Amino acid sequence: MAIQNAWLLRTLRDVPADAETAGHQLMLRAGLIRQTAAGMYAYMPLGLRVLRKLEAIVREEMERAGAQELLLPALQPAELWRQSGRYDVYGPELMTMTDRHNRSFVLGPTHEEAITSVMNGVINSYRQLPLTFFQIQVKFRDEMRPRSGLLRGREFLMKDAYSFHSDWDGLKRTYAVMYKAYCRIFNRCGLNYRAVMADAGAMGGDGDNHEFIALADIGEDTIAVCNSCQFAANVEKLQESLDEGTADQSETCPSCEQGKLEYCKGIEVGHTFQLGDKYSHSLGATVPGAHGRESELIMGCYGIGLSRLLATIVEQHHDQRGIIWPSAVAPYQVHMTIIAVKNEVQMKLAHQLYDRLAEVGIETLLDDRDERAGVKLHDAELIGIPIRIVVGKNADEHRVEYSERSSETKEVVHVEKALELLLQRIQLHRTHEI
Amino acid sequence: MAIQNAWLLRTLRDVPADAETAGHQLMLRAGLIRQTAAGMYAYMPLGLRVLRKLEAIVREEMERAGAQELLLPALQPAELWRQSGRYDVYGPELMTMTDRHNRSFVLGPTHEEAITSVMNGVINSYRQLPLTFFQIQVKFRDEMRPRSGLLRGREFLMKDAYSFHSDWDGLKRTYAVMYKAYCRIFNRCGLNYRAVMADAGAMGGDGDNHEFIALADIGEDTIAVCNSCQFAANVEKLQESLDEGTADQSETCPSCEQGKLEYCKGIEVGHTFQLGDKYSHSLGATVPGAHGRESELIMGCYGIGLSRLLATIVEQHHDQRGIIWPSAVAPYQVHMTIIAVKNEVQMKLAHQLYDRLAEVGIETLLDDRDERAGVKLHDAELIGIPIRIVVGKNADEHRVEYSERSSETKEVVHVEKALELLLQRIQLHRTHEI
Q: Which residue has the higher pLDDT, A223 or B245?
A: A223
A96: nearest CB among B1, B34, B97: B97
**pLDDT for B379 beyond 90:** yes
Most confident listed range (A236-240, A256-260, B37-41, B145-149): B37-41
Is there a contact between B92 and A100 if contact means CB atoms under 8 Å apart? yes
pLDDT classification of A253: cutoffs 50, 70, 90: confident
Domain B332-433: assigned CATH number: 3.40.50.800
In this prediction, residue A324 carries a pLDDT of 98
In this prediction, residue A235 carries a pLDDT of 83
Give CA separation, B192 vs B24, B200, B214, B263, in Å.
18, 23, 6, 15
Q: Which of residues 49-78 of A touch B (CB under 8 A)?
A: 51, 66, 68-77
- Measured CA to CA, the distance from residue B402 to residue B411 in angstroms comes to 5
In tens, the pLDDT along A49-80 reads 999 999 999 999 999 999 999 999 999 999 99
**pLDDT for B373 beyond 70:** yes
Q: Which of residues 206-225 of B touch A (CB under 8 A)?
A: none
Query: Nearest residue on chain A to B44, judged by CA atoms?
Result: A70
Query: Nearest residue on chain A to B50, judged by CA atoms?
Result: A70
Q: Answer whether A163 touches B (CB < 8 Å).
A: no
In this prediction, residue A7 carries a pLDDT of 61
Q: Answer whether B16 touches A (CB < 8 Å).
A: no
Average pLDDT of chain A is 91
Three-class SS of chain B: CHHHHHHCCCCCCCCCCCCCCHHHHHHHHCCCEEEEECCEEEECHHHHHHHHHHHHHHHHHHHHCCCEECECCCEEEHHHHHHHCHHHHHHHHCEEEECCCCCEEEECCCCHHHHHHHHHCCCCCHHHCCEEEEEEEEEECCCCCCECHHHECCEEEEEEEEEEECCHHHHHHHHHHHHHHHHHHHHHCCCCEEEEECCCHHHCCCCCEEEEEEECCCCCEEEEEECCCCCEEEHHHHHHHHHHHCCCCCCECCCCCCCEEEEEEEEEEEEEEEEECHHHHHHCCEEECCCCCEEECEEEEEEEEHHHHHHHHHHHCEECCEECCCHHHCCCCEEEEECCCCCHHHHHHHHHHHHHHHHCCCCEEEECCCCCHHHHHHHHHHHCCCEEEEECHHHHHCEEEEEECCCCCEEEEEHHHHHHHHHHHHHHHHHHHC
Calculate how close chain A gets to B375, using CA atoms only, in Å. 16
- Interface A–B counts its CB contacts (< 8 A) at 128
Burial class (CB in 10 A: 0-12, 13-18, 19+), A30: buried
- Measured CA to CA, the distance from residue A207 to residue A274 in angstroms comes to 5
In this prediction, residue B116 carries a pLDDT of 97
In this prediction, residue A1 carries a pLDDT of 39
B70: nearest CB among A42, A74, A92: A42
- CB within 8 A of A238, min separation 6: which ones? A224, A254, A261
In this prediction, residue A306 carries a pLDDT of 98
| pLDDT average, residue stretch B300-306 | 98
In this prediction, residue B254 carries a pLDDT of 85
Is there a contact between A133 and B45 if contact means CB atoms under 8 Å apart? yes
**pLDDT for A218 beyond 50:** yes
Q: Which residue has the higher pLDDT, A15 or A273?
A: A273
CATH superfamily of this structure's domain B22-319 = Bira Bifunctional Protein; Domain 2 (3.30.930.10)
Is there a contact between A107 and B97 if contact means CB atoms under 8 Å apart? yes
Cβ contacts (< 8 Å) between A131 and chain B: which residues? 4, 7
Cβ contacts (< 8 Å) between B133 and chain A: which residues? 45
Interhelix angle A45-64/A306-316, nearest 10 degrees: 110
| pLDDT average, residue stretch A344-367 | 95
In tens, the pLDDT along A77-118 reads 999 999 999 999 999 999 999 999 999 999 999 999 999 999
Cβ contacts (< 8 Å) between A75 and chain B: which residues? 37, 40, 140, 154-155
Is there a contact between B68 and A8 if contact means CB atoms under 8 Å apart? yes
**pLDDT for B428 beyond 60:** yes
**pLDDT for B346 beyond 60:** yes
In this prediction, residue B235 carries a pLDDT of 83
A74: nearest CB among B10, B114, B138: B138
The domain limits of chain A are 22-319, 332-433
Q: Mutate which of B12, B35, B49, B70 to test chain A, going by most A C-beta atoms within 10 A?
A: B70
Cβ contacts (< 8 Å) between B51 and chain A: which residues? 71
Is there a contact between A34 and B97 if contact means CB atoms under 8 Å apart? no
Is there a contact between A10 and B37 if contact means CB atoms under 8 Å apart? no
Is there a contact between B43 and A71 if contact means CB atoms under 8 Å apart? yes
pLDDT classification of B201: cutoffs 50, 70, 90: low
| pLDDT average, residue stretch B418-423 | 96
pLDDT classification of B155: cutoffs 50, 70, 90: very high
